[in-house]
């Protein structure tokens, strides 16, 4: 496995972090604006789920292609072309009115995301040393979380005052931040560059011919992906149901909707840094996988408890705790994947993870739209929590077998706590700044956070 040699390149980490925060804010801003517009116009659950399916299907269908592109084509070229395409599509979306055109443009945005997600995820381990990866994953989660936290709240205010056009125009501008960052980032992979253990940080890249790596050859990664896909399929309906649960069942305003949904996102921020410390100490991948399972179970339990609240305000502490588990799970899955996959194949690995997650999300979205026609939002929220816990119970035997059969990681595992730089309170390493790595189908162009409630590779 190849990580950056020498010193970690934090300047590149900060560029990725900043651009991710801005673009994620724009994505959630646009996604929330479109969801609120549909609900306010009297659209039902099928319309909302249809929008989400349009934002998700390309991520699944294109995963085999975009994973290979991420490993074989220059990362800078891919990010610039995809970012410009997404900005153009979002600009057109701001002025589109026909439903078919809106769905087509949303699908185009998701196609761009299918490219940028594996590219950025695979770049991060090349920017930092192995022992710095958990902190890098936590910083990247922080960036995405802050953007996702601001987006829904801002959308609630802007939609109420200006309609949906302004949020979509701001989303178009946010993609230009990603293009600018791509031009400034010195770390590159893909193209003609080859990985070299002696290469300085920032020049690590996939070889022209990828290592013969197969996902099914690693039972731990298979167990991880099966688990997250199963849980997201079970709870994914909540991303369709939540707007009706908060706005109609709990009788809340658009502003309160944005603030309440942001509480889960705030929890992701807290969980990312809290569990990044633990990930550095869990040098045994088997313990990392077991911890991952426990965190996902905690998320499902919080979703179940949220069905009992009598007011939207009381959802805040429940979803905050759910988000903490979600943030920890996101860090764990990124660290586990980066440790066990050869550098030259990470683009395919992250695309496989993302495609599995988004495919499971599509199942949840479709079920949410269909079930809303026959059941109340509150009962569906409870059903999502129960279904998620049942999935966890069903995968425990598979995870147990994978843990027992686990082979050693593909590459050198991260250094133990004695070798890694100590973290000061707040997550900053002694002697330097902090850092990135990895989804949420509830975005118009989303990506494994439990969607609202789970996805992000």
At 342-380, the pLDDT tens digits run: 877 777 777 777 778 878 877 887 788 788 888 888 999
pTM: 0.64
Contact assessment for residue 169 and residue 155, using Cβ atoms and an 8 Å cutoff:
no
CATH for 10-189+215-405 is 1.20.1250.20
H/E element holding 52?
Answer: helix 45-61
- Please check the confidence at residue 236 and state whether its pLDDT lies above 50: yes
Confidence of residue 413 (pLDDT cuts 50, 70, 90): very low
Q: Write out the two tokens for 26.
A: 């724009």
Helix axes 254-281, 315-340, angle to 10 degrees: 40
Give the pLDDT confidence score for residue 439 in this predicted structure: 33
Q: Provide the β-strand partners of residue 423.
A: 429
- Please check the confidence at residue 41 and state whether its pLDDT lies above 60: yes
Ramachandran area for residue 266 (φ above 0: left; ψ -120 to 50: alpha; else beta): alpha
Contact assessment for residue 293 and residue 395, using Cβ atoms and an 8 Å cutoff:
yes
Q: Provide the β-strand partners of residue 429.
A: 423
Phi then psi for residue 269, to 5 deg, are -60, -50
Dump pLDDT digits (tens) for 196-219: 333 334 444 444 344 567 777 788
Average pLDDT of span 8-24: 82
- Please check the confidence at residue 442 and state whether its pLDDT lies above 60: no
Residues 6+ away with beta carbon under 8 Å from 302: 318, 319, 321, 322, 325, 385
Contact assessment for residue 222 and residue 352, using Cβ atoms and an 8 Å cutoff:
no
278-287, 383-392, 404-413: least confidently modelled range: 404-413
142-156, 174-188, 310-324, 373-387: least confidently modelled range: 142-156
Query: Could you tell me the sign of the dihedral formed by the alpha carbons of 400, 438, 111, 73, in that order?
Result: negative
Mean pLDDT of all residues belonging to the chain: 75
Dump pLDDT digits (tens) for 300-319: 999 999 999 888 888 889 99
Contact assessment for residue 162 and residue 100, using Cβ atoms and an 8 Å cutoff:
no
Give the pLDDT confidence score for residue 197 in this predicted structure: 37
Average pLDDT of span 421-448: 30
Dump pLDDT digits (tens) for 60-108: 788 778 888 888 888 899 999 999 999 998 898 888 777 778 778 888 8
Contact assessment for residue 350 and residue 121, using Cβ atoms and an 8 Å cutoff:
yes
* Cβ neighbourhood burial of 110 (10 Å; 0-12, 13-18, 19+): buried
H/E element holding 268?
Answer: helix 254-281
Give the pLDDT confidence score for residue 202 in this predicted structure: 41
Range 267-303 burial, b when 16+ CB lie within 10 A, else e: bbbbbbbbbbbebbebbebeebbbbbbebbbbbbbbb
Give the pLDDT confidence score for residue 321 in this predicted structure: 92
More confidently predicted of 113 and 203: 113
Residues 6+ away with beta carbon under 8 Å from 95: 165
- Give the C-alpha separation, 85 to 76, whole Å: 14
More confidently predicted of 415 and 32: 32
Give the pLDDT confidence score for residue 434 in this predicted structure: 28
- Give the C-alpha separation, 211 to 201, whole Å: 21
Residue holding tokens 């925060």?
21
Give the pLDDT confidence score for residue 6 in this predicted structure: 60
Confidence of residue 392 (pLDDT cuts 50, 70, 90): very high
Residue holding tokens 């162009």?
445
Contact assessment for residue 434 and residue 139, using Cβ atoms and an 8 Å cutoff:
yes
- Give the C-alpha separation, 284 to 2, whole Å: 18
- Please check the confidence at residue 454 and state whether its pLDDT lies above 70: no
């Amino acid at each position: 496995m190849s990580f950056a040699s020498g010193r970690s390149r934090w300047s590149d980490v900060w560029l990725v972090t900043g651009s991710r925060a801005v673009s994620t804010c724009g994505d959630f801003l646009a996604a929330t604006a479109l969801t609120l517009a549909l609900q306010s116009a009297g659209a039902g659950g099928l319309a909302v789920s249809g929008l989400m399916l349009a934002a998700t299907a390309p991520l699944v269908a294109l995963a085999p292609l975009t994973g290979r592109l991420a490993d074989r084509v220059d990362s800078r070229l891919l990010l610039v072309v995809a970012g410009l395409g997404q900005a153009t599509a979002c600009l057109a979306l701001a002025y589109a009115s026909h439903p078919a055109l809106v769905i087509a443009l949303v699908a185009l945005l998701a196609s761009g995301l299918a490219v940028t997600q594996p590219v950025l995820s695979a770049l991060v381990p090349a920017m930092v040393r192995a022992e710095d990866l958990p902190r890098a994953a936590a910083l990247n989660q922080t960036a995405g979380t802050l953007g996702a936290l601001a987006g829904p709240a801002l959308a609630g205010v802007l939609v109420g005052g200006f309609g949906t056009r302004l949020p979509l125009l701001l989303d178009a501008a946010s993609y230009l931040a990603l293009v600018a960052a791509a031009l400034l980032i010195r770390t590159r992979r893909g193209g003609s560059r080859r990985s070299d253990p002696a290469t300085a940080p920032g020049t690590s890249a996939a070889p022209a011919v990828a290592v013969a790596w197969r996902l099914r050859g690693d039972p731990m990664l298979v167990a991880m992906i099966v688990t997250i896909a199963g849980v997201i399929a079970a709870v994914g309906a909540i991303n369709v149901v939540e707007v009706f649960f908060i706005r109609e069942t709990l009788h809340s305003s658009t502003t309160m909707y944005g603030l309440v949904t942001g509480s889960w996102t705030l929890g992701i921020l807290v969980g990312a840094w809290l569990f990044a410390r633990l990930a550095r100490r869990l040098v045994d991948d088997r313990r990392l996988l077991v911890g991952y399972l426990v965190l996902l179970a905690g998320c499902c339990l919080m979703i179940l408890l949220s069905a009992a609240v009598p007011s939207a305000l009381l959802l805040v502490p429940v979803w905050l705790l759910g988000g903490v588990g979600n943030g920890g799970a996101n860090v764990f899955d990124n660290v586990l994947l980066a440790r066990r996959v050869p550098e030259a194949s990470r683009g395919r690995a992250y695309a496989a993870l993302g495609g599995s997650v988004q495919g499971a999300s599509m199942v949840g979205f479709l079920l949410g739209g269909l079930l809303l026609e026959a059941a109340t939002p509150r009962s569906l929220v409870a059903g999502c929590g129960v279904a998620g816990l049942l999935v966890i119970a069903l995968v425990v035997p598979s995870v147990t077998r994978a843990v027992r059969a686990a082979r050693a990681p593909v590459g050198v595992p991260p250094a133990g706590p004695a070798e890694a730089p100590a973290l000061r309170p707040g997550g900053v390493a002694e002697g330097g700044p902090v850092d990135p790595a990895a989804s949420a189908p509830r975005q118009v162009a989303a990506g494994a956070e439990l969607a609202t409630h789970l996805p992000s590779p």
